[in-house]
Structure 1
Amino acid sequence: MNAPIVWIMGSANSGKDVQVQKIVEKYGFTHIDPNAIVDKEIEAKSADGKKFEAIRKDGKEVPLADIVPLVEKQIMGQRGGVKGYLIDGYPHNEAEAKILEERLGPPTMVIALDVQGDTNKKDSKAVLQKYANITMQINAERDAKEVFEDLVPNFETLAKNRGPQISIGR
């Protein structure tokens, strides 16, 4: 895949949705939200949706390995003219990072929106260490505009080069 792949990680209160929206609007990246894909399948009452609904009813999270084929289908359906992909909210851990990398390709950049009290940090710590050379860890407890301004230099480079020639700056 020639288009950049960006993983954007952050808890529910990190402002991730706002940053994703700003990136999509300014740079034309395609937003891939695995959780929204699951919701759509459940609503459609597809075979996958029925399976996903049963998993959720048991109080479990749908495994990323079960969602990725649907992500791949979405990506393949949008290949022409794509400027990049934003994988929203994943990976949560090393196993999910491996799944994403094997199935979709390695990330060009990882964005970690940090907020105090994020209980998922311990699971994602290994991911951030593995991809440290392409990870932007950003204090997300600031105004959304300030956070976005931190992202702009690297997205400008991605938009211009359509590839991994970025220099992670803070």
Structure 2
Amino acid sequence: MNAPIVWIMGGPNSGKDVQVQKIVEKYGFTHIDPNAMVDKEIEAKSADGKKFEAIRKDGKEVPLADIVPLVEKQIMGQRGGINGFLLNGYPRNEAEAKVLEDRLGQPTMIIALDVQGDTNKKESKAVLQKYSNITMQLNAERDANEVFEDLVPNMETLVKNRGPQISIGR
């Protein structure tokens, strides 16, 4: 499948969900939310859901490697007319980036939303450095519409080219 994959990263209160919604509405990308997938499996009481629930009850996060098969299933379930995929909230570190790249392929673009006090910055720094040529870092401590307007030129180019031939502006 030749559709762009965009990772949108950012800590709590960075506005990821708002930007995801705006991108989905304007560009028709398919939103992939691994945390929502975990919740759905738990609610359905599936075998995976029971495993995920036990992990969460121990106060741990469900490893991305355990979630990726659900992501793959969602991606493979999309047929024709796909404008792109938007992966919300991942990766948070290099290990997760490797899992995603190994299983889903290299991202076409990364949107990193920066806010002060983001406790995830230290872990995600290596990811942003590794993919610096395709990463757009934005100050997310502004009005959501301003942040989105900064995304638009690169999203337009990404949609037009349907691939990595973009020039990331900051």
Looking at structure 1, the residues matched to 67 and 80 of structure 2 have their Cα atoms a distance apart, in angstroms, of: 22
SS in 2 for 1:167: coil
What is the aligned partner in structure 1 of residue 6 from structure 2?
6
What is the aligned partner in structure 2 of residue 16 from structure 1?
16
| Unpaired segments ≥5 residues, structure 1 | none
Matches within 5 A, 1:39-78: 39-78=39-78
Looking at structure 1, the residues matched to 5 and 168 of structure 2 have their Cα atoms a distance apart, in angstroms, of: 15
Matched, 1:119 2:124: no
Q: CA RMSD in A?
A: 0.6
Amino acid at match of 1:75: I
Give the Å deviation of 1:80. 1.7
- Give the TM-score taking structure 1 as reference length: 0.99
Matches within 5 A, 1:33-44: 33-44=33-44
Looking at structure 1, the residues matched to 30 and 161 of structure 2 have their Cα atoms a distance apart, in angstroms, of: 17
SS in 1 for 2:106: coil
Matched residue count: 170
Amino acid at match of 1:6: V
Amino acid at match of 1:161: N
Amino acid at match of 2:112: A
Matches within 5 A, 1:79-118: 79-118=79-118
SS in 1 for 2:81: coil
Output one character per residue of 1:114-166: Cα deviation in whole Å (capped at 9) or x when no partner: 00000000000000000000000100000000000000001001111111111
What is the aligned partner in structure 2 of residue 152 from structure 1?
152
Give the % identical residues: 89
Amino acid at match of 1:42: I
Looking at structure 2, the residues matched to 61 and 24 of structure 1 have their Cα atoms a distance apart, in angstroms, of: 27
Matched, 1:25 2:30: no
> Structure 1 segments of 4 or more deviating over 6 A?
none
Give the Å deviation of 1:81. 1.1
What is the aligned partner in structure 1 of residue 167 from structure 2?
167
| Unpaired segments ≥5 residues, structure 2 | none
Amino acid at match of 1:17: D
Looking at structure 2, the residues matched to 20 and 111 of structure 1 have their Cα atoms a distance apart, in angstroms, of: 10
Give the Å deviation of 1:79. 3.0
Looking at structure 1, the residues matched to 169 and 94 of structure 2 have their Cα atoms a distance apart, in angstroms, of: 24
